[in-house]
């Protein structure tokens, strides 16, 4: 069920006790070959299809995330981390008001991870809701590693393959080689960690065109395989969460 498509009388009695799948991503550069909406398009596809399969609730997508590290590239949008955390915590409590107290943050942007974890802690500590962050590639790490020789953490073949599968019309296939040659194939090639400290803050300090990995290794077929495997993991997570008594998800008593 997709929340935004429903009229309120049809939601009466349908929300209390269900699991909410909240897709979150970003609007930021993903190299010369992928759309700026890559992350939120991926997150929404996972949340929508998981909701269709399980019968749980899918909310509207949060399209802009914590992305200041991509700000040098035209079109990148971002919000400050405290504002993002406050916003997500606020609408999570709003869901709890309607009886939706179990939430999966279906996330597809690495810059959101630590902030979603913090929000999850906050709403759990206040016993408003239980919210857990899920990121698709973290659910199938071995499969992702096996699919590509040079994976890359951003704008690489894994994201390229997923967008080729989900929205092939948005991929500039004629720029895949340029993306590879103008980016950084392996993080091991970088010299921006000194004596255990990360000396960089922005993506452009590591990659001239903002991407990593070998984009030419991506195919829609690989994207479909990865998507289906991660979708299974998400559905299993949501089903597990649905089975848990809410009280068992709250913080344990003090020792």
254 in any annotated domain:
no
Rounded mean pLDDT, 36-46: 98
Supply the pLDDT for residue 137: 97
Q: Is there a domain that residue 197 lies in?
A: yes
pLDDT for residue 190 is more than 90: no
User: What CATH number is given to the structural domain containing 182?
Assistant: 3.40.50.10310
Asked, for residue 167, whether it belongs to a domain, the answer is: yes
Residue 106 resides in a domain: yes
Q: How far apart are CA 90 and CA 215, in angstroms?
A: 38
Q: Determine the pLDDT at residue 189.
A: 77
Number of domains in the chain: 1
- Return d(Cα 147, Cα 213) in angstroms, integer: 12
Q: Stretch 58-81: mean pLDDT, rounded?
A: 98
207-245 exposure pattern, b = at least 16 Cβ within 10 A, e = fewer: bebbbbbbbbbbebebbebbbeebbebbbebbeebeeee
Q: Does residue 255 form part of some domain?
A: no
In a domain, 95, yes or no: yes
Q: Is the dihedral of CA 96, 54, 7, 63 positive or negative?
A: positive
Local confidence band at 193 (pLDDT 50, 70, 90 cut-offs): confident
Cα(98)–Cα(12) distance, integer angstroms: 9
For residue 37, tell me if it sits in a domain. Answer: yes
Q: What is the DSSP string of 85-134?
A: HHHHHHHHHHHHHTT--EEEEEE--GGGHHHHHHHHHHHHHTTS-EEEEE
Count of C-beta atoms within a 10 Å radius of residue 161: 26
Distance, CA of 133 to chain centre: 9
The residue that leads in pLDDT, 116 or 200, is 116
Is 193 a member of any domain? yes
User: Is 195's pLDDT higher than 90?
Assistant: no
Task: State which residues form the domain around 89.
Answer: 3-248
Q: What is the model's pTM?
A: 0.97
Mean pLDDT of 122-144: 98
Predicted local confidence at residue 211, as pLDDT: 97
Query: What integer pLDDT is reported at residue 78 of this predicted model?
Result: 98
């Amino acid at each position: 069920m997709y929340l935004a498509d429903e009229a309120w009388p049809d939601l009466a009695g349908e929300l209390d006790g269900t699991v909410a799948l909240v897709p979150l991503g970003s609007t930021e550069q993903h190299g010369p070959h992928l759309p700026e909406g890559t992350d939120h398009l991926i997150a929404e596809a996972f949340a929508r299809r998981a909701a269709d399969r399980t019968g749980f609730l899918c909310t509207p997508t949060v399209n802009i995330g914590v992305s200041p590290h991509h700000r040098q590239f035209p079109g990148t949008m971002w919000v400050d981390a405290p504002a993002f955390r406050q916003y997500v915590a606020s609408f999570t409590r709003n869901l709890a008001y309607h009886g939706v107290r179990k939430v999966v943050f279906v996330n597809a942007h690495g810059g959101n991870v630590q902030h979603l974890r913090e929000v999850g802690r906050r709403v759990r500590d206040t016993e408003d809701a239980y919210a857990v962050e899920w990121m698709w590639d973290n659910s199938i790490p071995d499969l992702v590693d096996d699919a590509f020789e040079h994976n890359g953490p951003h704008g690489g073949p894994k994201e390229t393959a997923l967008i080729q599968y989900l929205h092939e019309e948005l991929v500039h296939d004629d720029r895949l080689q340029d993306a590879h040659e103008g980016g950084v194939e392996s993080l091991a090639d970088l010299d921006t960690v000194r004596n255990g400290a990360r000396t960089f803050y922005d993506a452009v300090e590591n990659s001239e065109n903002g991407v990593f990995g070998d984009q030419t290794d991506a195919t829609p077929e690989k994207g479909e395989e990865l998507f289906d495997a991660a979708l299974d993991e998400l559905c299993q997570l949501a089903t597990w969460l649905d089975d848990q008594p809410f009280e068992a998800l709250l913080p344990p008593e003090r020792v």
